[in-house]
Structure 1
C-alpha cells in the first residue's frame, strides 16, 4: 500500500513506517500504555513490521509525537490498536486527528469494519464514528497466556 501523508495544524501524519522512531514507540507502549506494559522490543518491532503504521510528527521539529497501528488485510477487516499520544502533545486533538487519518485511509478500501478495544478513551473514538458493538456476544477471543 502506498504511503499517505495528512497535514494538520502543526502536525503531519504519515504511514511511512521507515520514518518511525521505533525505540520511542517501544518506550511509550512498554512503559506507559496499560495494554502493552512490559512488551519486549522484539515483539514491538515484529508488530510494526506486520502492520499498517501511522506516525504523527511535529512539523517544526520532525519529532514523532503520536502513533497508531492497524492490523488489516486491506480488504475486509481492520483492528486499530496501540494508539498513543506523547504526554506533552495531549489535549490538542491530536489523538482524534490520528484516528480520523486511520479511518480516512482505510475507508476507500471497502473494509466492512474497523474494531478496537479501549478501557478509557471511548470519547476520542466516538468523535470519529466508532460505536459499541451491536451484538457483542457474537464476538469471541482465543487467549494465550
Structure 2
C-alpha cells in the first residue's frame, strides 16, 4: 500500500483525529474545538492510504530553535506496518524543521520508536520544569 504523508491542513479528517485523541491516554476528553485550535497553531502531518487518513502528528515549533512533537498516532488497524516510522522520518526531514535543534516529546509507550530518531530520556531532568493545570 502506498502511504502518503502530507502537511496540507485541508486534507485532515478532523472527526477522525478527534475520535482517536479523545480516547488516547494523553488527550482523553479533549474537545473537538480544542483539536481544531491545536491544529491551527501547529505544523501538522496527516498519514493517508488511498486518501483515507490513518494517522496524524503535530509539531509545535518556532521553526528555528524548538520543536515539540505531539499527538502522534497511527490507527490501530494499521499498526505494525512501519507507518509510524515513516511519519517520524517525514517530520524529522521536513525542510521547514531543519534548523530546529531542540526537540521534545512525551510518551509512555513508544520509546523504541523515538530512540531510532535520536530521542532519549532527559540527561539533566533538573533543568526542565513543567506547569500542569
1:23 aligns with 2:12: no
Contact 1:55–1:64 under 8 Å retained in 2: yes
What TM-score does the superposition give when structure 1 sets the normalisation length? 0.87
1:66 aligns with 2:55: yes
Residue equivalent to 1:49: 40
Partners of 2:39 and 2:99 in 1: CA distance: 23
Judge which range, 16-25 or 102-111, deviates more. 102-111
4+ residue segments displaced more than 2 Å = 106-109
1:14 aligns with 2:3: no
Partners of 1:43 and 1:27 in 2: CA distance: 12
Contact 2:64–2:97 under 8 Å retained in 1: no
1:88 aligns with 2:77: yes
Task: Report the number of matched residues.
Answer: 133
What TM-score does the superposition give when structure 2 sets the normalisation length? 0.95
Partners of 1:18 and 1:107 in 2: CA distance: 19
Q: In the TM superposition, what whole-angstrom CA distance separates every residue of 1:45-102 from its partner, at most 9, and x where no partner exists?
A: 00001110000100xx210001001100111101000001001110001111101111
Return closer, same or farther for 1:86/1:129 CA change in 2, 3 Å cut-off.
same
Deviation of the 1:112 alpha carbon = 1.5
Please point out which of 108, 116, 134 is paired with 2:105: 116
Q: Cα RMSD over matched residues?
A: 1.3
